Structure 1
């Protein structure tokens, strides 16, 4: 199973080698970091929690800061259920869009656009009433909602109400292109939600190739911190030497003036 988090950028079109035009959705996906690995024995479910995006520290709750201890503060965190514990991922592992390849079929989950309160024509596609032959101001009304005998409205009756702003899943979408340098996926067709909305992209087949393990990340951060400390120490030493030289020159000038 492969999965990743991303945000919708918009739609465009690409040309295949045979000249056909394919409408695609641009998705900014990854890099993602593993924030927690859950198992059925301890958490009641086998799942991998991954984080995506960046967030300022003061916007992250204290409890979440503790949960992300040792990791960068992320904006989104979502769980992906796994069939077992053989996924090979560990806390702190990082991966990018390179886990996907063109031609794969993916499942995309997102939140649809909110439409507010809508009538039955827009919400359910009712045909409406005739505009003539005795119908007055009834073109978009639902009509009868039940008979006299039960004296109630059955559950599930299609009526006016809130439309959109719901979790929507679209399956079997083709990955047309992968851009690792730009962290982008090109997915054929439309995906749920507005631009900037969070998307959960997954496939049931394949395994995730980790770009950087937690151990490698720790070693890299240690090398960088040592370099920064060394640079700061060197700069401080040079500044101290400069101050001593200025002090000595000032003393010499004062002695010359006294003579």
Structure 2
């Protein structure tokens, strides 16, 4: 399944033929470059490794990795499974139109905004304790256990802790518009992550819409 690496730019809105508003996320997709090929004979599976966004400095092993493909150092690398990796040349530039077209359904993967250490009400939507009548436990944990048996909180209990920075995939979003000159794709709806964060866009596995 082919896809591309990109960056979330910002949100905007477009209008369809009937004048209805379509909220969209602008994503800079590519250009990506073929850094490595994985073949059935050598690696026991077929895939190509794509690189995205040039970077100034890398360590020597990674520098040699990019040199084999005659490419400058790239910040992000990601493998995509393909049926025939021999159809891709090392160093080849892959643009939006090579993979997607307007109207395609895609699955977008990103990383949610990190919010640090958060309490249970913010992190899990707890209702909290009484707000008045002498209560001093407005946002505290409260009772967690189940009595004498098992005498401890169950595993997986929602607790305060680190909130955000999780990998999330939003499925079946539609590509409304493509700006090939600026490598931009206008994708309907919201996608996870902050501005300029990495996103992975793949063709939708299931098309329920």
TM-score normalised by structure 2 residue count: 0.89
The aligned residue for residue 90 of structure 1 is 89
- Written as runs of structure 1 = structure 2, the 5 A alignment for 1:1-259 is 1-56=1-56, 59-69=57-67, 70-82=70-82, 84-85=83-84, 88-98=87-97, 99-133=99-133, 136-147=135-146, 148-204=148-204
Number of aligned residues? 201
Structure 2: tracts of 5 or more residues without a match = none
Q: Describe the shift of the 1:31–1:163 C-alpha distance in structure 2 as closer, same or farther (beyond 3 A).
A: same
C-alpha separation in 1, matches of 2:73 and 2:36: 14
Secondary structure of the equivalent of 2:74?
Answer: coil
How big is the alpha-carbon RMSD for the aligned residues of Structure 1 and Structure 2? 1.8
More strand per residue: 2
Query: Which contiguous aligned blocks of 4+ residues in structure 1 show a shift greater than 4 angstroms?
Result: none
1 CA distance for matches of 2:74 and 2:104?
28
Q: CA deviation at 1:137?
A: 2.2
What's the CA shift for 1:91? 2.0
SS at match of 2:54: coil
More helix by share: 1
Question: Secondary structure at 1:155's aligned position in 2?
Answer: coil
Larger radius of gyration: 1
> Scaled by the length of structure 1, what TM-score is found?
0.73
